[in-house]
Structure 1
Amino acid sequence: MAEKAPAAEKNAPAKPTSKLNHVDQAAILLMSLGEADAAEVLRHMGPKEVQRIGGAMAQMKNVQQSDVQAVLTNFLEEVRTLTGLGTDSDAYIRNMLVTALGEDKASGLIDRILLGGNTTGLDTLKWMEPRSVADVIRNEHPQIQAIVVSYLDPDQAAEVLSYLSEKMRLDIMMRVASLDTVQPSALQELNDILEKQFTGSASSQTKAVGGYKTAAEIMNHLEGSIEADLMDSIKELDEDMGNQIQDLMFVFDNLKDVDDRGIQMLLREVSSEVLIVALKGADNELQDKIFSNMSKRAAELLRDDLEVKGPVRLSEVETAQKEILTIARRMADAGEIVLSSSGEKML
């Protein structure tokens, strides 16, 4: 298990008995349930959650009894306070999911849980390996490719693009940025191509996909050199589009704009090893931001580790920074912290 970066002592909540992160704790809990019960829980999760927890399970080696006990104790303490446990109300479940995920994201999940429907063709792609998705759409019309890429989660979409040619990536991203809504007939046609059907009743409303924000989120997850080359190509064809996408991108340097509480919460989820490598590519201002949100002793230890750490490849620094940004975006999506891109002003 990775050693956690020392959290700021000021404003730090009481630490749980287990020092494992949330994903590792979920993995241990499911492994403790047994195959049948664990499978039933996983059935109600999305592809990204299943992949993360499954990966954590695969890496579990020699889990100590004290960690298992701590996870189970924490779980029991949390569920003891839940008033919705065991509720058999479709309305309750529907309202809960819509509140948590929003109408668009929740609709397919609600259908699968309450109506017992199958996933749509587009939803099925979310469960596939990025290389396989790239193979599926490689020979499709560029507009179909753009709709698919817009529909995927940004990190998966970015990996799909990495398996396509440079020319194809440019064409797709230009179309993603230009997308706004898609008629239901077009989505139905796409599902026919994928030999699937939408779950539940067909909607007569247009579907919002793509746009500058979607393009920026996908760009955020691309490998450094691919991202830079693609951005240069977009600006060559449409400088205004490139600038608008760039303004919406959240990069590692933007962590300077995250408030102290947000930095402190982020540090609790990042391993020391990853943080050290990521900071090797950060300027003094960002490093000072990180140091100031640690206890004096933790900051001194981190400074020493940075000095002792030898040269690090740029690719390793970029990978570490993107890992931290992925955690930051996940926390932002959960409402735990607030991120501000270079094009956004905090009020």
Structure 2
Amino acid sequence: MSLTDLTENPHAETRRIEGSALVLSALAAVFWGSNFEATRIVLQELPPWSAAAGRFVFAALGILLWLRLAEGPGLRALRRNALAFLVLGVVGVAGFNAALFLGMRTSSPVTAALIMGTSPLTTNLLEALIGGRWPARRALFGMAISLIGVALTVGAFSGARFAPGDLLIFAGSLAWALYTIGCRRWVRDASPLETSAWTMLAGAVTLLITAFALEDPLAIAAAASPTAWGAILWMALIGSVLAYLFWQVGISVRGPAATSVLFNLVPVSALLIAAAFGRMPHLTQVIGVAVAIFGVLLASGRIGRRPRAR
């Protein structure tokens, strides 16, 4: 495109940037969806605490380097929010990922991704309750539909029960919801990158201490295969740091509301990746994912809302 074209059509460059941001946001959701299959691969060789600690040690180093290059050391934000960063890191990073790695021992990648895919809706409901507001009927109805989709995915209507890992992953989604709410309510004068970097560091240290207390992570890491190491590095650098970078680009260009809808690609990505690894989903799982996504979109007002008259 020439300079003359841009002058004649000033919106062309804006559309191009928005299109690029849309692609990057979608890639972030796909990367997050790939984490569940990578977790399954890692847990074939590594115990959960060492696996979670390994992922976030590398992720914390990567995002701290990114913070240093993009915004500086971020020490002022750390001094202002040290306690908040510590609590949020323990709950939202260590707690969330401990629940994920422990739960994935008995849960499936698709089910785990679908449960986590409802976390934006869970966050909105919890925030309404914490703020003393009764959630809107649309949100409650959408949550009910999403839970029906989750139940379809795990086969609850055919007599199966939720696996213990499913319940752990749901607890992890609650921890992530509390993390999101806490970042809004407790953190002051810190950029999203500073908040993510310092909470990720707090979570990584917590996971590492726990791994040394319960397991032998150094011996385990030395015995791990290149496949396990590759999966850990993928989750750390692609499924954590790069996914966050792409997601933030989407938020800064397209806004949080438009970008958050793409989070529904997470369970879809997990389902497709599981199929690529030879585990074809059942028809009820596909229907369950579709029903759950429909519930989230309904609750968020993305569908079924009448346009306002101008």
- Answer with 1 or 2: which has the greater Rg: 1
TM tier relative to shorter chain = under 0.3
TM-score by length of 2: 0.28
Q: TM-score, normalised by structure 1?
A: 0.26
